[in-house]
Structure 1
Amino acid sequence: MFDLIIKNATLPDGRTGVDIACQNGVITAVEAGITAEAAEVVNASGYLVSPPFVDPHFHMDATLSLGTPRMNVSGTLLEGIALWGELKPVQSVDDIIQRALRYCDLAVSMGLGAIRSHVDTCDDELKGVDALLEVREQVKDYIDLQLVAFPQDGVLRDPTAMANTLRALDMGVDVVGGIPHFERTMADGANSVRQLCEIAADRGLMVDMHCDESDDPHSRHIETLAYETQRLGLQGRVAGSHLTSMHSMDNYYVSKLIPLMVEAGVYAIPNPLINIMLQGRHDTYPKRRGQTRVRELRDAGITVGFGSDCVMDPWYSMGTADMLDVAFMGLHVGQLSSREDMAWCFDAVTQNSANIMGLEGYGIAKGCAANLVLLQARDKIEAIRLRADRLAVIRKGKVIARKQLSVSNLSLPGRPESLDPADYAPKSPT
């Protein structure tokens, strides 16, 4: 007897009529017509079963703090940073823990199974670090929470940031972060990248830097990050987050930059919802989109994963922990409109982001962790188009969240009595 069998699933690779058997927290079979008994059987009814969603860029220490101590009136990145500086002294460790746990509840309901959260290390008390280390422990059975030591005010610009960042890493934070474009000079920004990458190399850690979150085409710290990655042998362990200045760079420079990133094995993490909201604020018209060159990065062979960045905090007053919203925005802003492009956007919030975070046992195959999401959609593209409901969220072979099938009842003469939105796509789209 298995712990769980999912019957008649459609998989992200297009296979249909597949059963998935789970035992002791692991997928033990993926095939048609499994006849064994199970403690629980979930009938997928032909809907899409996916590995869990993965958010490779988030700020859990700030989430759900909207309006405290005030609202961001201008809606800009810089006012958000200033507002965060006002919030840090007045919040407690318990405040952060309770907000983060509430967010994790929401995240589970939306099928999120892994989150990489940056945590500010420019607070001498390291309240956010204390809080999120506690949260990481509390949610470990249902969310893989990876923490980045993030000196929000600049590791060189802030006088105690470097010492605090090292303390945070000593306390058990997983990844080295940075924000070179927020240093006082370009030289300081490049120096911060060098020093932080050296720390990561010495400690055997991954790196994830807020890099060039700016409209300034001369903000080119991703070049330094790629160089230091190669110099220190950090290939496959380094991500550049945001990279928004690339949308304003001239094509000739980018034609040099992207191959350098490819050689270095650097990952890219755009954050479509936030990038489109915060960038281009100094423009009148034409107004820049804000999102980095997703298509060009992807086509060059760089692993690109979409992050959500913020939910109801000093920088972004919206958000629902829905990575399909993130993919939906990334698709539109990047004009990723072919069938292949749209399907890839689903990968950008699942497999690609799992690769960036280095998650083990991720996927739908024998031997993978039995972490799955049943979506009210027939394929990956339809999941994004519908922002499909999560009918079941499964962790270690147990259902931890459920939602009723969303069907509208109609009273129209001569028309169907009910409507399932998942059944309204063309049968053979071209």
Structure 2
Amino acid sequence: MIINNAKLRGKQGLHSIECENGRFVSIIEQDGLVIPLESSLDAKMNLLSAPFVEPHIHLDAVFTAGEPNWNLSGTLFEGIERWAERKPMLTSEDVQRRVLKAVQLLVENGVQHIRTHVDITDPELVALKAIVALKEKLSAYIDLQIVAFPQEGILSFPNGKQLMEKALEQGADVIGGIPHFEYTREYGVESMRWIIDLAEKHGKLVDVHCDEIDDGASRFLEVLATAALEKGIGERVTASHTSAMHSYNNAYCSKLFRLLKKSKINFIALPTENMHLQGRFDGYPKIRGITRVKEIKDAGMNICFGQDSIQDPWYTLGNGKLLRVLDSGIHSCHMMGYEDLETALDLITDNGAKTLNISENYGIEVGKPANFIILEGSNDVEVIQKQGDVLYSVREGEILISRQPATLNQTIPLIE
């Protein structure tokens, strides 16, 4: 496959890219516009980018909003209650049907790498087994990482530690946690140190729902970062949400950042989800409840965006479009300066790849797998301005999806 007339992120001019045997073999700058051959793909001066990365989604819960009851308060904790009502209804067929529907949405919107959290506070591990069974089937379309996520706690749920060990045996790739939902602070601290020890023992990645609460006194992030630093595995550890950081006082947060930078842990922000769930106990002014994305990024730490939910008990919207999440995030985090916009796609591409520990085989470089998307617009700024479609998604040199941008049948005459 040869792609002509492509713009590349951070590079001037137009480029031709050649793929062979599923890998990039040549990337050269063109001397002006090229008339492509019939057998080649014409990017038409649009942006060719590495695929989108969805670093945080709950595929086991997609399309369950209102089943059997709606989350009327809109809070995180009621969402957990509603999910607990839905959990006994799970079957392998139910889970797989909904997961496949969601993955199709994600693939259609340029996602090729997914990290999904799967609830393991279920003695039968129904959802985990169902999704592990789909992993090979989906490998032609996506790379899938599965997080063993203890939705109702590790120490606060019966046999929580044993269920985590069992989930790893069943094929989970990543160890999860939820310290702010444990019964006590002591349980939360113990759970953080336990999962870091477990990750070191099994050579696993870690991704914790950490301080997803409006309580400025919820400070499990410092525990997670310290444990990761002590074991020297920070680059394999991720703190998702960290919503309480929005409410930390600035003096404490300044001190905390020193530890976070030393630890080298990753961060995931969920802008649409946390703007919806947080601030529910406030009058006015209401907090936004999103972690300090710009400050983390400007401090040189790795942070990315995810969408968290597609129509589940926590969030009734969601459509697989990471560009929508990115748009929401840069608005709500005051990241609309031109310098922010110039690299904004990092938040749903390269930064996500680093979080998932897949950077070695990710990106537009000779020798790497020929995985890419083509987006409407010539650079990050235009892509965000247009909020257009993913025109192509290509995986190992094979086209997964293609679409043409909308056009009018005739030009609208200028108003005189």
TM-score (structure 1 length as normaliser):
0.93
Q: Do the aligned partners of residues 187 and 342 (structure 1) sit closer, same or farther apart at CA in structure 2, a change above 3 Å counting?
A: same
Quick check: 2:52–2:322 contact (8 Å CA) kept in 1? yes
Question: Which residue, out of 10, 13, 27, partners 1:13?
Answer: 10
Task: Give per-residue Cα distances to partners, 1:359-380, cap 9 Å, x unaligned.
Answer: 1311111112111111111211
Tell me the equivalent position of 1:30.
27
Letter in 2 for 1:87: R
Tell me the equivalent position of 1:61.
60
How many Å separate the matches in 2 of 1:287 and 1:345? 26
Q: Do the aligned partners of residues 134 and 15 (structure 1) sit closer, same or farther apart at CA in structure 2, a change above 3 Å counting?
A: farther
How many Å separate the matches in 2 of 1:103 and 1:162? 30
1:14 Cα deviation (Å)?
3.4
Tell me the equivalent position of 1:163.
162
- The SS at the match of 2:304 is coil
Task: Give per-residue Cα distances to partners, 1:210-259, cap 9 Å, x unaligned.
Answer: 00000000000000001100112212110100000000010000001111
How many Å separate the matches in 2 of 1:71 and 1:20? 49
1:326 Cα deviation (Å)?
1.1
How many Å separate the matches in 1 of 2:12 and 2:30? 13
1:159 Cα deviation (Å)?
1.1
Tell me the equivalent position of 2:131.
132
1:414 Cα deviation (Å)?
4.2
Letter in 2 for 1:158: F
- The SS at the match of 2:70 is coil
- Compare 157-166 and 238-247 and name the one that shifted more: 157-166
Alignment of 1:186-265 (within 5 A): 186-265=185-264
- The SS at the match of 1:146 is strand
Alignment of 1:117-156 (within 5 A): 117-156=116-155
Quick check: 1:55–1:353 contact (8 Å CA) kept in 2? yes
Letter in 2 for 1:270: A
How many Å separate the matches in 2 of 1:309 and 1:145? 15
- The SS at the match of 1:71 is coil
Q: Do the aligned partners of residues 373 and 87 (structure 1) sit closer, same or farther apart at CA in structure 2, a change above 3 Å counting?
A: same
How many Å separate the matches in 2 of 1:37 and 1:387? 27
1:39 Cα deviation (Å)?
8.8
How many Å separate the matches in 1 of 2:316 and 2:144? 23
- Compare 374-383 and 242-251 and name the one that shifted more: 374-383
How many Å separate the matches in 1 of 2:161 and 2:172? 14
1:171 Cα deviation (Å)?
1.3
- Compare 175-184 and 24-33 and name the one that shifted more: 24-33
Quick check: 2:309–2:315 contact (8 Å CA) kept in 1? yes
Q: Do the aligned partners of residues 247 and 206 (structure 1) sit closer, same or farther apart at CA in structure 2, a change above 3 Å counting?
A: same
How many Å separate the matches in 2 of 1:414 and 1:231? 65
1:132 Cα deviation (Å)?
1.0
Tell me the equivalent position of 1:395.
395
Aligned residues: 413
1:386 Cα deviation (Å)?
2.0
- The SS at the match of 2:40 is strand
TM-score (structure 2 length as normaliser):
0.96
Alignment of 1:72-111 (within 5 A): 72-111=71-110
Quick check: 1:354–1:362 contact (8 Å CA) kept in 2? yes
Tell me the equivalent position of 1:404.
404
- The SS at the match of 1:394 is strand
- The SS at the match of 2:324 is helix
- Segments of structure 2 that go 5 or more residues without pairing to the other structure are none
How many Å separate the matches in 1 of 2:111 and 2:411? 36
How many Å separate the matches in 2 of 1:38 and 1:96? 44
Tell me the equivalent position of 1:363.
363
- Compare 62-71 and 90-99 and name the one that shifted more: 62-71
Tell me the equivalent position of 1:427.
none
- The SS at the match of 1:275 is helix
How many Å separate the matches in 1 of 2:321 and 2:346? 14
Percent identity reads 39
How many Å separate the matches in 2 of 1:273 and 1:413? 38
Q: Does 1:345 align with 2:332?
A: no
- The SS at the match of 1:283 is coil
Letter in 1 for 2:405: L
Q: Do the aligned partners of residues 36 and 168 (structure 1) sit closer, same or farther apart at CA in structure 2, a change above 3 Å counting?
A: farther
Letter in 1 for 2:293: V
Quick check: 1:10–1:16 contact (8 Å CA) kept in 2? yes
Letter in 2 for 1:227: T
How many Å separate the matches in 2 of 1:52 and 1:6? 16
